[in-house]
A and B are shown apart, each in its own frame.
Chain A
């Protein structure tokens, strides 16, 4: 992969103006984490300030002391769009918080090992599943509960076996499985950053939607340019050059 392809993260208008110059710097720089972080941060910045890639109307011969551009028109995002984005953000953050809360409070109640043992001994339990240091107990009435057991298990399986010998008609089903912790660790890490990933994707989408929605603005700029030329403030040559840059 060429390092330059990192610049695809930038908005189109920014790339049209700066990609060639920055690309050369990027190709010369040694590939490092800080380079990637720098470019990703820069891409965020460029998406957040879409006016930066826009052609400046300050001509190279006319001197730069008259700011011909209207005062940062790029910042005037319609209120309704802002409100919508804020609403979506709140929604996504809310979902993320809800998810975190759910992850903290499992739907199956957790009881102490003593409680689980007495449930087994008193014949309230129909099946026991032992997975690593977690055991799930299914009651005869269908309820379930969880408990944490020492690993390797010395008490719970023993209690179930004793109970089964004492009361053969009501055999408690005992399943022992290996904890599939490898997958669950990776899975839980992925799930825990999922809201964050969604948020980042949403911000990128919103930023590029902003940038696109400003398409018609360049015709306004063109009209302004024509006006400047008509008033003799810029020469025809300057007008043609800026026009080419605007419509590129």
Chain B
């Protein structure tokens, strides 16, 4: 997961920050841990998580599109 984040965002997230985020997402019911055993525990999006992510992405897409239009119109 850390490598993924580094590859996508170009920033390395320390374990403390990563698990700060995971704990919040899990608390909010947006992700869930898959199995109770094993230290390398995988997480997956819940239904609420998918909905939240897609609406976030949609608003980011709108923002990016609006910004690009304004920039081109200058």
Where the two chains meet, the residues of A that have a C-beta atom closer than 8 Å to any C-beta of B are 14, 17-18, 20-26, 29, 34-35, 37-43, 45-46, 49, 51-54, 56, 58, 60, 63-67, 69, 72
B18 within 8 A of A: yes
Residues B29 and A38 in contact, CB atoms below 8 Å apart? no
**For B17, what are the chain A residues with a Cβ–Cβ distance below 8 Å?**
38, 41-42
Most chain B beta-carbon contacts within 10 A, residue among A34, A41, A43, A64:
A64
What is the interface size of chain B, counting residues whose CB is below 8 A from a CB of the partner?
28
B51 within 8 A of A: yes
Residues B20 and A25 in contact, CB atoms below 8 Å apart? no
**For B51, what are the chain A residues with a Cβ–Cβ distance below 8 Å?**
65
Residues B26 and A65 in contact, CB atoms below 8 Å apart? no
Residues B23 and A18 in contact, CB atoms below 8 Å apart? yes
Given A41-B16, A64-B48, A21-B23 contact (CB < 8 Å): no
Separation in Å of the B44 CB from the closest CB of chain A? Answer: 9
Given A38-B15, A42-B19, A52-B24, A24-B48 contact (CB < 8 Å): no
Partner of A23, one of B32, B33, B34, B39: B39
Cα A26 to Cα B40 in complex, Å, equals: 12
Cα A241 to Cα B37 in complex, Å, equals: 13
Most chain A beta-carbon contacts within 10 A, residue among B14, B26, B40:
B14
